[in-house]
A and B are shown apart, each in its own frame.
Chain A
């Protein structure tokens, strides 16, 4: 392999959006790059900092409480044009839970409609009850079903032509009705599978890394890793959910 490859990862407001162990995602991206000899520079954007997306490869937005999500939304609206240019240029953006809602045109905080970042054609309103529990999703970006946990009052509606991340195999997904979960737009992945999305779903982690490498270095083959533990954890949860499904 030629000169050492390197990716820059921008972690947006980790001290605000860290509700459910979101830092696990950054750790997983970093390790999976390091294990392949790709150097990974993580830039944490803190309150008061203005994020730069010009030389970013991957940006990540986690989930927070309503109050914290609102603060982050205000910060990001100030750099909306740069973030939007990054996305349109094929920049990789991962957004989970509250971060996923921010991608759209609007979401609800209490009864107030809050303007979102309009990066993806979607919007979020609310329903009752909250949709809480383990979830499994079949997605083209992962060879294994995507498994994890969701906990959201919001119902997210995709605009025409926006592809969902996948189909719900167990759980609720975007709205508990359509069987759709998350969104895919250019190199954006948004999902309600919250907190540590990537540890048990190495396929999603590698999808993000591969897209970023592709954008910076052209077509690349990702070196396979030994994912015995990750895939075992994925399968144990998937099998458990399918067993519960069968009993329903």
Chain B
């Protein structure tokens, strides 16, 4: 290691020690930021710490869960892993996660889609996992075309990286087709069958990525994901290298048969639900399998995996179940509404939308969420709006036919549903910056259940 890198590394570690040990603060960003200021090529110099290689996980929805499940499975298999578990997924976060002393077998890093252009050329990962692309934070990320261009360019700058892509997503496949033309090796994962779920809205990508013709589907899982093909040109869901079959999805969990190429399927199951979770776990299982983790070890990791990041966490407050989940864009929100409606108990919902920088300041997207689905449901007994943009959520709900009150905290929302029987759960769905305060509140108010 060059002198400058060594100095940068040591300084970063010192900052990490100072933050965590002396100040008891979160150290997911600052050590990397300081070390990068000293050595902008730091990631390139630290990449060799992971002797077997590295895996980068990106995609609009599901990065943190997929990345953390993958890292956990490698650890269960006895490997040493460097990982940005807290979800700090820009350059500084990745650099911070690479700093801790000692070598490792693998680096497993989630990356913000637009940060791939800075991370991939330096880290030169063995695999890039691309989960999905949805419209998200247009004010910051720009249009999806721009996100796609960025990932294609990042892959071009890291020719040894294999792309592990969701073959069911036309937008991710748009990236894969272009990357493959430029020489990137591509592997695909997807659903081997029709999941038979109620169709939701297709907010984007209704048209062929190559020729612009409206896409057709043999079956569709959710949003634009499914077995698609263009009736005009050859653009289509590719042959899958990793397949999920016999998929069972409900609000309490998912299970599916996982197979690599033509090998026999092994059942994978987890106690957290939603069709998007089936995709996340399929992606994680595929990446784990590429890193040499077998399905049994992967399952063992899942059994011991308890998310502590606000994603689908269950709490009990004064005898009432509270389900907390992240919902930060139309597709994420629509998936959450599906999950909520699959719960056959009468229930209440608290919908929280902030507009801080890390949420996206433009919340126009709430008009692309199908809140109308809640309006006709007898089981949805009360809906409450929250967050910095509670008023906008309230107006959105009014035009969906739902009269909603507002609350400025989870505690206040709970007070507003106090007259409902305790068997009725409260769903708290929040976007990014509202998630941690809600989680802190729930940890203070109640106890965690799963």
Chain A contact residues, CB within 8 Å of chain B = 15, 18-24, 27-28, 31, 47, 65-67, 71, 132-134, 149, 151, 194-196, 199-200, 229-230, 232-233, 236-237
- Chain A residues whose C-beta falls within 8 Å of the C-beta of B399 in the assembled complex: 24, 27-28, 31, 199
Contact (Cβ within 8 A) B206 A149: no
Residues of chain B lying within 8 A (CB to CB) of residue A199: 367, 392, 395-396, 399
- Contact of A67 with B145 in the complex, beta carbons under 8 Å: yes
Question: Considering the chains assembled together, what is the distance between the CA atoms of A24 and B371 in angstroms?
Answer: 12
B183-200 CB contact bits vs A (8 Å, 1 = yes)?
000000000000000000
The CA of A232 and the CA of B398, in the complex, are separated in Å by: 13
- List 28 interface pairs A-B (beta carbons < 8 Å), by A numbering: A15-B206, A18-B203, A20-B362, A21-B367, A21-B368, A24-B364, A24-B367, A27-B367, A27-B399, A28-B399, A65-B144, A65-B145, A71-B212, A132-B139, A134-B361, A149-B139, A149-B361, A149-B364, A199-B392, A199-B395, A199-B399, A200-B392, A230-B395, A230-B398, A232-B394, A233-B391, A233-B395, A237-B391
Q: Any chain A CB within 8 A of the CB of B366?
A: yes
Min CB gap A73→B, angstroms:
15
Which 10 pairs between the two chains have the least Cβ-Cβ distance? Answer: A21-B367, A24-B367, A195-B364, A233-B391, A20-B364, A21-B364, A65-B143, A196-B367, A149-B362, A236-B391
* Highest count of chain A CB atoms <10 Å: which of B214, B391, B394, B395: B395
B289 to chain A, nearest CB (A): 37
- Assuming A65-B145, A151-B139, A229-B391, is B398 touching A21 (CB within 8 A)? no
B182 within 8 A of A: no
Given contacts A65-B145, A67-B145, A134-B361, contact A195 B398 (CB under 8 A): no
| Interface membership of chain B positions 389-431, coded 1 if the CB is closer than 8 angstroms to chain A and 0 otherwise | 0011011101100000000000000000000000000000000
Q: Does chain A have a CB within 8 A of B365?
A: yes
Known contacts being A200-B392, A233-B392, A233-B395, is A151 close to B362, with CB within 8 Å? yes
Write the nearest CB–CB distance from B362 to chain A, whole angstroms: 5
Residues on the A chain within 8 Å of B342, using CB? none
A66 to B142, CA, bound (A): 12
Complex interface: chain A residues within 8 A of B398 (CB):
229-230
B367 and A195 contact, CB distance less than 8 A = yes
A229 B394 Cβ-Cβ under 8 A: yes
Nearest residue (CB) in A for B204 is A18
Q: B367 touching A133 by the CB < 8 A rule?
A: no
Q: Is B138 an interface position by the 8 A CB rule?
A: yes
Give the Cβ gap from B180 to chain A, nearest Cβ, in Å.
22
Contacts of B206 in A (CB 8 A): 15
What's the minimum C-beta distance from A20 to chain B, rounded to whole angstroms?
4
Q: Are A19 and B143 in contact, CB atoms less than 8 angstroms apart?
A: yes
Query: Complex Cα distance A195/B368, Å?
Result: 10
Residue interface bits B351-365, CB-to-A below 8 A is 1, else 0: 000000000011011
Q: Which B residues touch A133, using CB under 8 A? A: 139, 361
CA distance A126 to B399 in the complex (A): 36
CB of B423 to closest CB in A, whole Å: 30
User: Nearest chain-B residue to A236 (Cβ)?
Assistant: B391
What B residues does A20 contact at CB under 8 A?
Answer: 138, 362, 364-365
Knowing A65-B145, A133-B361, A151-B362 are in contact, say whether A19-B395 is a contact too (CB < 8 A): no
CB-CB under 8 A from B391, the residues of chain A are 229, 232-233, 236-237
Q: A66-B143, A149-B361, A151-B139 are in contact. List 14 more A-B contacts (CB 8 A).
A: A21-B364, A27-B367, A28-B399, A65-B144, A133-B139, A133-B361, A151-B362, A194-B364, A196-B364, A196-B366, A199-B392, A200-B395, A229-B398, A232-B394
Which chain B residues border A200 with CB–CB below 8 Å? 392, 395
Q: Which residues of B contact A195 (CB under 8 A)?
A: 362, 364, 367
A22, B135: Cα distance in complex, Å: 14
Instruction: Give the contacting residue for B368; candidates A23, A65, A132; CB below 8 A.
Output: A23
List B contacts of A149 (CB < 8 A): 139, 361-362, 364
CB B385 to nearest CB in A, in angstroms, measures 10
The CA of A19 and the CA of B143, in the complex, are separated in Å by 9
Shortest distance in angstroms between B33's beta carbon and chain A's nearest beta carbon? 24
Assuming the A-B contacts A47-B214, A67-B145, A199-B399, are A23 and B367 also in contact, with contact meaning beta carbons closer than 8 angstroms in the complex?
yes
